Structure formats: C-alpha cells, structure tokens
Amino acid sequence: NAGVMQNPRHLVRRRGQEARLRCSPMKGHSHVYWYRQLPEEGLKFMVYLQKENIIDESGMPKERFSAEFPKEGPSILRIQQVVRGDSAAYFCASSPGGRGTEAFFGQGTRLTVV
Amino acid sequence: GQQLNQSPQSMFIQEGEDVSMNCTSSSIFNTWLWYKQDPGEGPVLLIALYKAGELTSNGRLTAQFGITRKDSFLNISASIPSDVGIYFCAGQRPTGTASKLTFGTGTRLQVTL
C-alpha cells in the first residue's frame, strides 16, 4: 500500500509564476489536508478537503492560493503569482476520515521562489 | 493560527540517556499525536493518544495524554543516534469527522555518542 505521494519534491519558480503542487492520498483515504512549513518552524494548517469539497480553508491565504480535490485524480494546491514569501515546504496528509483516525504525511514539496 | 508550545526547544543528550519533552496548549484537544520529522522528509506518526490520562508506549517511546486535555508529554528511553530529528506534538479537535491538526513548535533532538 503506497503512502501519500507528493510531486514534485522540489519546485523552483520565478516571482509572478504559478506553482502547482500535487498530492495523491493513500489508497482508501478520502480526506486530504495541506500544511505549510517554514524553515525552523512547525507545520501550519492550510486547508482540509474531501472529495470535491472544501471542508475547512481557514488557514489558506485569501488571495492567490486555491486547492481542489476532484472526484478523479490527485489533490492540487495552486499558488498564483508566487512571491518570495511563498518559499516553504508544503506537506499533504491523508486520512480515511472519521473520529480518531490518524493522518499520514507525504514527503512534501519544497517550493523555492527566486 | 494557534500553535502549541513545546519544550525544550532543543536538546543535546548522550547516547543511552532518557529524553523527556512536553507540549502545552491554552485550549482542550480530544486527540494528541506525536510525530518525528527527519531533514527533508515529512512527519512520521509515532504515537496517538485518544483519552485523557491515557499512557501509550511504542517500543522505547512512551507518551501520555494530560488529564486536563491541555498537555501531553513524550519520553524516549535509552536514546540511540537514529533518534536524532525534530519531534512535533499535534492536537486534534474533531467535531464529527476527522479535522485539522494544530502542531507544536517542535523539539530538536541531537544525540552525541
């Protein structure tokens, strides 16, 4: 059973470009979470999605950031018009849902904006 | 957003020593989780705690869910070099279905031979 798969592992974008980060959850998991981690800091929640629905986006910046989890295919975190401050590690986690279920993390995508 | 306070922030210990770290919050959580993160990798779940007062072990690791639901601690016994990494606590406050995790600030563990 493959774990949570994120790609790319590393992404370099120039200021003003778009960044697309992909996350394929573990088999059987229908809940996906995105977190951002700045160097030397803990992970901060961004958005929680179930298939085709955004459940909680309270941690997502209101502008330039969007997330989706379509019926078919991976979850996508999209950052438009990237700025240097978007440079960070972005982690995806998945869980099967329900109370007491544990979330498992992918290896992350390290975004560098130059 | 809220972050949980972890202490110590970092620690150097000698191989074979026991390690203790804790995590505190100003609000209640229903679930406490402890993760370890190696450089360049994602967090890996070590222990999950679901009930106040619960004490759970996983090999050399032992964690407890505080009675007040506002804290948790993690102990590592007889540390070895591969214990090096950053340890994060995380609290979860489900309201029906699984919900987001709130992470601690991390404890960086370094082991000297």
DSSP B14-25: ETT--EEEEEE-
Q: What percent of chain A has pLDDT over 70?
A: 95
**What integer pLDDT is reported at residue B112 of this predicted model?**
80
The mean of the pLDDT values for chain A is: 92
Cα–Cα distance measured from residue A106 to residue A8, given in angstroms and rounded to the nearest whole number: 11
With contacts defined as CB-CB under 8 Å, which chain A residues touch B98?
Answer: 31, 95-99, 101, 103
Measured between CB atoms, does A28 come within 8 Å of chain B? no
pLDDT value for A13: 98
pLDDT in tens, A57-113: 999 999 999 999 998 899 999 999 999 999 999 999 998 876 556 789 999 999 999
pLDDT at site B96: 52
pLDDT of A3 reads 92
Question: Which A residues in the span 48-77 are in contact with B, Cβ-Cβ below 8 Å?
Answer: 48, 55-56, 58-59
When pLDDT is cut at 50, 70 and 90, the band that residue A11 belongs to is very high
pLDDT at A96: 85
- Taking only residues 62 to 101 of chain B, the set having a beta carbon closer than 8 angstroms to any beta carbon of chain A reads 88, 90, 94, 96-101
A43 touches chain B (CB under 8 A): yes
Q: pLDDT tens digits, chain B, 113 residues: what are they? A: 567 899 999 999 999 999 999 999 998 998 899 999 998 899 999 999 999 999 999 999 999 999 999 999 999 999 999 999 999 999 987 655 557 889 999 999 998 87
* Cβ neighbours of residue A95 closer than 8 Å, sequence gap 6 or more: A29, A31, A33, A101, A102, A103, A104, B98
Q: For position B113, what pLDDT does the model report?
A: 73
DSSP type of residue B9:
S
Q: Tell me, yes or no, if B104 comes closer than 8 A to chain A by beta carbon.
A: yes
CB contact under 8 A, B96 and A108: no
Structural tokens at position B49:
């705690």
Which pLDDT score, from 0 to 100, does residue A40 have? 80
